[in-house]
């Protein structure tokens, strides 16, 4: 059997979308890989989070630079891996072909939203990985267009494998919001997610805002708290599902997205979605959400409250088009093509 090694360093690190992607992909690939005569190994600092059917390989390093430049190539050689799958970056000295997932190119399109150091790292690492990859995976047609336009990637070199939705996200038995209605915002607290706009809209609509996600920008988190938002931080998936189901609506005010998992998770929970007109969010939600300009978010919330039944039904129907099983099937097809399996 051929061995595919998947870089699962994000497990247990509260990396929101990136961690969700790896966790669900590992679980579904484990069910599909044996029939394709492929073994899976997860390279991670948290072997306890690796699902059954995937070999956990503990990887520790002093820094990400050391890990990527020295540790991963050494482990791949020891494992005799036939293929490695990473996110955004590839080790410089690969002993086997590599597949790289690029979720978005926000650091290219909206560089002012990034810390200068992070922006520099992404701009150095991602183009190199894209040039060296045997195949590039991405989660939306929006990011595929960006890869073609900004990096000159050939269209047939990019496979779109949209994210799925975890079974934990489902509607309540009865369509009721919390006895104390609130607006929900989900995502790491940082300028790109634009939670201040969500807070302003919720306040104008007469509802409190609950924010779920790790505080990447401590100053922004404190400002949100001072202005009245309730910050839940990083929560377990069961608590997140509960918050979706109890919300009057989700507000997604992001300035840039490669996909927009909270939109999909909210729709699967039967919760109306109000979002800015951002291409990836529109790609995910179609006509099942209320799309407005940033200045119209408060009116969007009011519309979502009035049209809750219609939006809930439309969202549930739209969410059924996305599954992690389908994501894994598409990903496995890329593995097999590269391996000649």
Q: What pLDDT is attached to residue 195?
A: 97
As a whole number of angstroms, the distance between CA 296 and CA 211 comes to: 20
Q: For the segment 37-86, what is each residue's pLDDT rounded down to a tens digit?
A: 999 999 999 999 999 999 999 998 778 888 888 899 999 999 999 999 99
Residue numbers in the chain where pLDDT is lower than 50: none
Q: What is the pLDDT of residues 43-56, one digit of tens each?
A: 999 999 999 999 99
Q: With a threshold of 0.85, does the pTM exceed it? A: yes
Rounded CA-CA distance 287/312 in Å is 12
What was the pLDDT predicted at 176? 54
* Same fold flag, 2-164+323-339 and 183-319: yes
Q: List the structure tokens of 304.
A: 């979502």
Beta strands per DSSP E along 59-160: 83-87, 98-101, 135-138, 158-160
pLDDT value for 17: 83
3-state secondary structure of 42: strand
Instruction: Please name the residues in contact with 304: beta carbons below 8 A apart, sequence gap of 6 or more.
Output: 248, 249, 272, 273, 274, 290, 311
Rounded to whole angstroms, the Cα distance separating 328 from 30 reads 9
Question: Is residue 213 a contact partner of residue 16, using CB atoms and an 8 Å limit?
Answer: yes
Q: Which CATH number fits domain 183-319: 3.40.50.300, 3.30.470.10, 3.40.50.2000, 3.40.50.2300?
A: 3.40.50.2000
Task: Give the CATH fold of the 2-164+323-339 domain.
Answer: Rossmann fold (3.40.50)
Beta bridge partners of 43: 7, 57
Q: What is the pLDDT of residues 275-325, one digit of tens each?
A: 999 999 999 999 999 999 999 999 999 999 999 999 999 999 999 999 999
Q: Which of helix, strand or coil describes residue 210?
A: strand
Task: Name the phi and psi angles at 253, rounded to 5.
Answer: -105, 20
- The backbone torsions φ and ψ at residue 135, rounded to the nearest 5 degrees and listed phi first, read -160, 145
- Of 224, 204, 213, nearest to 301 (Cα)? 204
Extents of the domains making up the chain? 2-164+323-339, 183-319
pLDDT of residue 178: 56
Alpha-carbon distance 98 to 128, whole Å? 12
Distance between CA atoms of 246 and 158, rounded to whole angstroms?
38
Give 46-52's long-range contacts (Cβ < 8 A, gap of 24+): 46/8, 46/11, 46/12, 46/13, 49/8, 49/11, 49/12, 49/23, 50/8, 50/11, 50/26, 51/23, 51/26, 51/27
């Amino acid at each position: 059997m051929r061995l595919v090694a998947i870089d699962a360093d994000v497990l247990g690190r509260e990396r929101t979308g990136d961690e969700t992607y790896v966790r669900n992909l590992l679980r579904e690939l484990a069910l599909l890989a044996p029939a394709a005569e492929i073994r899976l190994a997860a390279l991670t600092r948290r072997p306890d989070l690796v699902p059954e059917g995937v070999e956990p390989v503990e990887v520790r390093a002093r820094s990400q630079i050391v890990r990527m430049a020295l540790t991963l190539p050494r482990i791949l050689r020891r494992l005799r891996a036939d293929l490695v799958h990473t996110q955004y970056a590839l080790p410089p000295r690969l002993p086997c072909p590599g597949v790289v997932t690029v979720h978005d190119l926000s650091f290219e399109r909206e560089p002012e939203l990034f810390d200068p150091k992070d922006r520099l790292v992404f701009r150095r690492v991602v183009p190199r990985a894209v040039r060296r990859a045997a195949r590039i995976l991405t989660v939306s047609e929006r990011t595929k267009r960006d890869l073609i336009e900004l990096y000159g990637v050939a269209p047939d070199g990019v496979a779109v494998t949209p994210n799925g939705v975890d079974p934990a996200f489902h509607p309540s038995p009865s369509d009721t919001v919390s006895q104390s209605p609130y607006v929900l915002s989900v995502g790491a607290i940082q300028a790109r997610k634009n939670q201040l706009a969500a807070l302003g809209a919720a306040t104008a609509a007469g509802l409190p805002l609950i924010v779920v996600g790790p505080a990447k920008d401590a100053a922004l988190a404190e400002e949100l708290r001072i202005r009245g938002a309730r910050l839940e931080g990083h929560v377990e998936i069961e608590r997140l599902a509960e918050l979706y189901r109890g919300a009057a609506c989700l507000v997604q005010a992001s300035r840039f997205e490669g996909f927009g998992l909270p939109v999909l998770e909210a729709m699967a929970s039967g919760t109306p979605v109000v979002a800015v007109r951002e291409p990836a969010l529109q790609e995910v939600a179609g006509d099942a959400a209320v799309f407005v300009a940033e200045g119209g978010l408060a009116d969007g919330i009011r519309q979502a409250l009035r049209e809750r039944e219609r939006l809930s039904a439309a969202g549930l129907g739209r969410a059924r088009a996305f599954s992690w099983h389908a994501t894994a099937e598409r990903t496995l097809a890329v593995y097999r093509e590269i391996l000649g399996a």
